[in-house]
Structure 1
Amino acid sequence: MVPDVVELTKALIAAESVTPARGSVFDVLEAALAPLGFTVERFVEGEAPDGPVENLLAVRGNTGPHFAFAGHLDVVPPGNGWTSGAFEPEIRGDLLYGRGAVDMKGSIAAFVAAVAQMPASGTISLIITGDEEGPSTYGTPKLIERMAERGLKPDLCIVGEPSSAHRLGDTIKIGRRGSAVIDIVAIGQQGHVAYPHLADNPVPRLVRALAEIDGIVLDAGNAWFQPSNIEIIDLAVGNPATNVIPSRAGARISIRFNDEQRGDDLVARITAIVERHAPGAQVKGRVYGEAFLTAPGALSSLVSDAVQARLGITPELSTTGGTSDARYLVKICPVVEFGLVNATMHKLDEAVALADLHALTGVYADVLRRVFA
């Protein structure tokens, strides 16, 4: 039986799955995969605050080649102001509305519908997490560990993120910039503003450090990546009084960096600047992912050829956008991202064109035919 891609997308949307996701949304996917010959393994990892998270690993076949599809069933919180219920899928005109329609329950449904058209050949796996929109601590990294325990190593992988910018098929992501966030707290001594010699104001020291950081030019970009950038995204003292010198001042910095930089090196560089201007300051950096690139080659050509054959357009190869779980998967095999149009992801009234769901199913099916030809 070939699942109807629209009905499966609706069923996935109806299963509320704000990060970290588990439970009913995985029930829906498992019920769709089991009749197609997949062995489905579900497991829950982690504890609060980053968990618990449910993951699903589905495998059909045990011979080569091994093609993997990766994605996430969790979604961001819907927010208020939807025209209809965020988890009450509704078709209005040519669009299906609901949280996760494009990011990325629609592409998961399209891949399942595509696999259903294929005779059993080689090995196909689905690597699906409930924690991509969150910290990912117990998501795809744990799935990769589970695959290693079972001796599973894909030859090629598509992540079904909504990569298309304006029209389905116009963009394939072949890499992403890295991401690091750094929290800074400059420490001083509280006192009366009329007696500054009896206090120690941390604010000027923090401001001087931030001024130097803001002036950094990391690089000019390269053939596949835009320039790295450092952004000061928060500055807080939290002082409600008008006559008190504060004892603490904090800031947060976000860095998006290309493959000319390394996350730990950037954290160390910022730490050194802060220490020079504000000795004793607390600096805590977290690298959420390194930059990566799957150089244009067999995989990107495979997907591009399928898009051209089905949709009649030539995709742009791009590394723009935020982070994705491809940053983990690229460590085990070549990976690209290809999916629906991203114009409404994370927005109110997120929606997918019904025609795009059917067209994406066709592209995925064509990719599979080319892999297993």
Structure 2
Amino acid sequence: MIDAVDLTARLIRCPSVTPEEGGALVLLAEVLEGAGFTCARVDRNGTANLFARWGVRGANKTFGFNGHTDVVPVGDAGAWTQDPFGAAVVDGWMYGRGATDMKSGVAAFVAAACDFVKDTPPDGAIVLTITGDEEGEAKDGTVALLDWMAANGEKMSHCLVGEPTCPNTMGEMMKIGRRGSMTAYFTAVGVQGHSAYPHRAKNPLHALVTLLSRLTAEPLDQGSDHFDASTLQITTIDCGNPANNVIPEKARATVNIRFNDLHSGESLGRWLTELAGEVHLETGVRLDMRLSVSGESFLTEPGEFVALVAGAVQAETGVVPEYSTSGGTSDARFVKNHCPVVEFGLVGKTMHQVDERVEVAQIGQLKAIYGRVLRDYFG
């Protein structure tokens, strides 16, 4: 039996702040190979990733788990009451960076998978894809693993991502999709001048404010069947001008949009371009725009697979999980291009915080849920 609590502690003690591997994937490879998994390091551009498979490559029924061992920086270490990489247990809680997001989740599915193949070897295969680049730019993590799998004839029939999904109570929520995320970087280019002679200048801030006002004047939508309403937030405005009597030449603003399945990065890009063009014609100020789409919205339709995971959660917790698409992005946005994917994990209230911590009892509970998912899937 693999002790998921002990494995979580050992992983926390690996200082794997993105992009450092910190020994976490080396540790997991040792554990998995000891259970009969074939492991391969799939490193790309300095990012460490681990692929592990039990069973025959290309089996018709291949269940996948996905997760990450990289963590965000600890911030002010002096503000922590416990060593951020010490995995101290106090009053039933294990403290450490990554305790919730998501070394406990990785430890739980690794432990569940190892025990499952030992106790009840399935007619099929189990694949684990574990990255060190989820908290970073996510360009050479799960994407690299999926690229490598495609090139090497590896596949997953279905996948469960072990991100923390429960807001307050274990079992209350699973993710069956995610909103899309995109960022628009605007640069307004006018003509610098004296603020007392505005007719000799073109104020980029006025044009930029006009554009931002129109972007936020009306809601993007009212939501859809499985998604809340899309949101648009202005996150920064800057012109770098210290003088009160100078109209600046340039001004910049950044807008972040979290969008549902009523939109795409492409359709929103067209809308932003159209409004920027209108303001340019009205003001004579050029409005340049750079777009970055970190993920499109997606939905795994409720069906047999979703119900199987939900049933395992209910059986182990007594709670019927809500099907949700809330929150930010996760690596499920990449996995969904490979196979149907859902997410379920621990309560995530302390993730990325000072004194990040996980309730020790929940780690064993999560392992039991993942173990039941495997038994039901192959049963």
**What band does the TM-score fall into relative to the shorter chain?**
over 0.9
Shift of 1:269: 1.0
Shift of 1:326: 0.5
Shift of 1:196: 2.4
Q: List per-residue Cα deviations over 1:249-307 (Å, max 9, x = no partner).
A: 11000000000100121122112211221352210011110100001111111111111
Distance 1:271 1:88 in 2: 50
Instruction: From 321, 340, 345, give the equivalent of 1:315.
Output: 321
Instruction: From 60, 75, 79, give the equivalent of 1:79.
Output: 75
The residue identity in structure 2 corresponding to 1:59 is R
Q: Percent identity between the aligned chains?
A: 45
The residue identity in structure 2 corresponding to 1:224 is H
Give the 3-state SS of the residue equivalent to 2:242 in structure 1: coil
Spell out the pairing of 1:1-373 with structure 2 (5 A cutoff).
Answer: 2-46=1-45, 52-62=46-56, 63-80=59-76, 81-119=79-117, 120-121=121-122, 122-278=124-280, 279-373=285-379
Gaps of 5+ in 1: 47-51
Distance 1:296 1:197 in 2: 60
Distance 2:42 2:378 in 1: 29
Distance 2:268 2:230 in 1: 11
Distance 2:293 2:242 in 1: 33
Q: List per-residue Cα deviations over 1:106-155 (Å, max 9, x = no partner).
A: 01101111112213322001111111112211111111111111212211
Distance 1:297 1:311 in 2: 21
Q: List per-residue Cα deviations over 1:142-178 (Å, max 9, x = no partner).
A: 1111111121221111000001111111111000110
Q: After the TM superposition, which of the residue ranges 279-288 and 205-214 deviates more from structure 2?
A: 279-288
The residue identity in structure 1 corresponding to 2:3 is D
Shift of 1:23: 4.6
Distance 1:114 1:285 in 2: 41
Give the 3-state SS of the residue equivalent to 2:52 in structure 1: strand
What residue in structure 2 maps to residue 49 of structure 1? none
Q: List per-residue Cα deviations over 1:315-354 (Å, max 9, x = no partner).
A: 1111111111101111111110000101111111111111
Matched-pair contact (CA < 8 Å) for 1:66–1:156: yes
| Structure 1 segments (4+ residues) deviating >6 Å | none
Give the 3-state SS of the residue equivalent to 2:48 in structure 1: strand
Matched-pair contact (CA < 8 Å) for 1:188–1:200: yes
Alpha carbon RMSD of aligned pairs, Å?
Answer: 1.2
Shift of 1:96: 0.3
Distance 1:44 1:243 in 2: 53
Give the 3-state SS of the residue equivalent to 1:182 in structure 2: strand
Shift of 1:314: 0.9
Q: List per-residue Cα deviations over 1:173-210 (Å, max 9, x = no partner).
A: 00011000000010012222233233221111111111
Give the 3-state SS of the residue equivalent to 1:70 in structure 2: strand
Matched-pair contact (CA < 8 Å) for 1:94–1:354: yes
Give the 3-state SS of the residue equivalent to 2:43 in structure 1: strand
Length-normalised TM-score, structure 1: 0.96
Distance 1:347 1:23 in 2: 20
Gaps of 5+ in 2: none
The residue identity in structure 2 corresponding to 1:281 is L
The residue identity in structure 1 corresponding to 2:189 is I
Matched-pair contact (CA < 8 Å) for 2:42–2:148: no
Give the 3-state SS of the residue equivalent to 1:116 in structure 2: helix
Distance 2:270 2:258 in 1: 15
